[in-house]
Structure formats: C-alpha cells, structure tokens
C-alpha cells in the first residue's frame, strides 16, 4: 500500500495547513465552479480539505471522503463526525473505486495524485464515476528540486505528475474544458476537467 511519510501525515493535520487550505487552496482550486451535490474525494488524508469544502459549499448533499490508508480514514472519520448524514469516510483505493458509473457530480483530488504512483489509473476511474457533465477538480505538485528534496527528507514514495502530462491524459480520457494552471501557492498547479455531457 502507498503510504504518506509520518511527517506529511502530521503536517496535514496542522493549523497552518488548514489555514492555507481555507484561505487559498480551496477557493482557488474550486474557482467559483459548481461543486456537488454528490462529491467524492480521493486521498482525503485527515479530512481537513473535506471539512473546508463542506464549510464553504453548503449546497453539498453528500461528501464521500476516501483514502487508501486506514489510519487516515480513521482521522477523517473523526474530523467529519459533526457532519454525519452529509459526509462519510471510507477506505478506498483511488485506482479501484467501488462506485457505479456516473455516481458523482464532482470528484476532488487534493495534493494526492503524486502519492498514488499509478495516477493514470486514478484519473481514469474518476472519469468513470463522474456523471456526464460532472467535474474533476484538484491540485498537485510538479517535479522540482524542492519537491525532490522534501520527499527525500520525508521518505515519501512518490511519482510526480507533470502538469502537461496530466493535461494530455485528461484530454485522452475524453474530458472537456481541461484547465491545468499554476495555483499560486508554492509550485503547485490546479486542474479542472469536465466529463462531456451525454
Ligand atoms: C499528501 S496527502 C493529502 C491528503 C489530503 N488530500 C490533504 O490535502 O490534506 C496524500 C493522501 O493520498 C493518499 N493516497 C495515496 N495513494 C492513494 C490511493 N491509491 N488511493 C487513495 N488514496 C491514496 C495517502 O494515503 C494520503 O492520505
């Protein structure tokens, strides 16, 4: 199983991370676009992003926060306990989603694709579970000397996702309105792509 380093796992739960997520990451990634009412998050970590999105988007009916790591799922469950009925957390591999075709309006991926190693399989399965007209949104980190240093120090197993490679893959999967552009937070980039209406 792909696991985050202990350091990253702790960092994702800090107040600093939450504050950056709330003020910059979530608004810039969502960019005023429609979210929900049925949302799937892949690689939810501690559930911090899920909590922020739910707070900022009251129109969401159901937010399914998933992660391959059972320890992260336990944390996310605790984080989302106050949202019972509206949010749930589940242990799921993003490359093998146990959901039917077209089950979600939005699929979110927050800084997790480079942790999956097989990120092409993850975006392909995201495309499958999105309804026609639904949107894949998220952000990630490209390869850079800084990213390599951080992952070496934190001993994380990663396969970085170049923005242009991601854009090519999304187009090849048949997505429309593909946007991959700098997020304006460190070296990260945001992406958004729409499954063609049926
Ligand atoms: C850097 S963390 C980001 C967590 C959260 N999205 C956030 O922004 O706070 C990456 C997460 O992706 C998860 N992950 C890695 N590979 C995965 C996979 N194949 N399917 C689902 N989750 C995965 C890890 O367990 C980890 O929780």
For residue 167, give the nearest of 186, 189, 187 by alpha carbon.
189
Per-residue b or e along 44-55, where b marks 16 or more CB atoms closer than 10 Å to that residue's CB: bbbbbbbbbbbe
pLDDT tens per residue across all 198 residues of the chain: 445 566 666 777 778 878 888 889 999 999 999 999 999 999 999 999 999 999 999 999 999 999 999 999 999 999 999 998 999 999 999 999 999 999 999 999 999 999 999 999 999 999 999 999 999 999 999 988 888 888 888 888 889 999 999 999 999 999 999 999 999 888 899 999 999 987
pLDDT, position 144: 85
For residue 112, give the nearest of 20, 2, 23 by alpha carbon.
2
pLDDT, position 1: 47
Using CB distances shorter than 6 Å, the residues near ligand 1 are: 2, 4, 8, 12, 42-46, 48-49, 67-69, 72, 93-95, 110-112, 115-116
DSSP element (H, E) containing 136: strand 130-140
Ligand 1: centre distance to CA 41 (Å): 10
Ligand 1 atom nearest the C-alpha of 17 is 9
pLDDT, position 4: 58
Question: Hey, which bits of 24-97 come out as E strands?
Answer: 38-42, 62-67, 87-91
Ligand 1: centre distance to CA 176 (Å): 25
Reported pTM: 0.93
pLDDT, position 22: 83
Q: Whose CA is nearest to atom 4 of ligand 1?
A: 45
- Which of the listed residues 9, 28, 29, 43 should we mutate to test ligand 1's pocket, taking the one with most ligand atoms within 8 A of CB? 43
Q: CA-based angle 168:149:166, to the nearest 5?
A: 5
pLDDT, position 116: 93
Ligand 1: centre distance to CA 67 (Å): 6
Domains of the chain listed by start with CATH number:
6-194 (3.40.50.150)
Rounded Cα distance between 46 and 157, Å, is: 18
Q: Which residue has the tokens 């106050």?
A: 82
């Amino acid at each position: 199983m792909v696991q985050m380093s202990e350091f990253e796992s702790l960092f994702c739960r800090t107040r600093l991370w939450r504050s950056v997520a709330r003020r910059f990451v979530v608004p810039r990634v969502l960019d005023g676009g429609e979210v929900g009412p049925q949302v799937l998050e892949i690689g939810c970590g501690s559930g911090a992003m899920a909590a922020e999105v739910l707070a900022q988007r009251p129109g969401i009916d159901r937010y399914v926060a998933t992660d391959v790591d059972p320890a992260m799922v336990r944390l996310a469950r605790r984080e989302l306990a106050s949202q019972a009925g509206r949010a749930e957390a589940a242990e799921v591999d993003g490359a093998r989603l146990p959901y039917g075709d077209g089950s979600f309006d939005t699929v979110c991926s927050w800084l997790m694709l480079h942790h999956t190693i097989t990120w092409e399989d993850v975006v392909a399965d995201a495309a499958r579970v999105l309804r026609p007209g639904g949107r894949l949104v998220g952000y990630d980190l490209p390869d850079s000397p800084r990213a390599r240093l951080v992952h070496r120090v934190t001993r994380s197993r990663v396969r970085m996702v170049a923005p242009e490679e991601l854009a090519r893959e999304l187009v090849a999967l048949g997505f429309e309105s593909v946007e991959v552009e700098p997020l304006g937070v460190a070296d990260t980039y945001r992406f958004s792509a729409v499954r063609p209406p049926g």
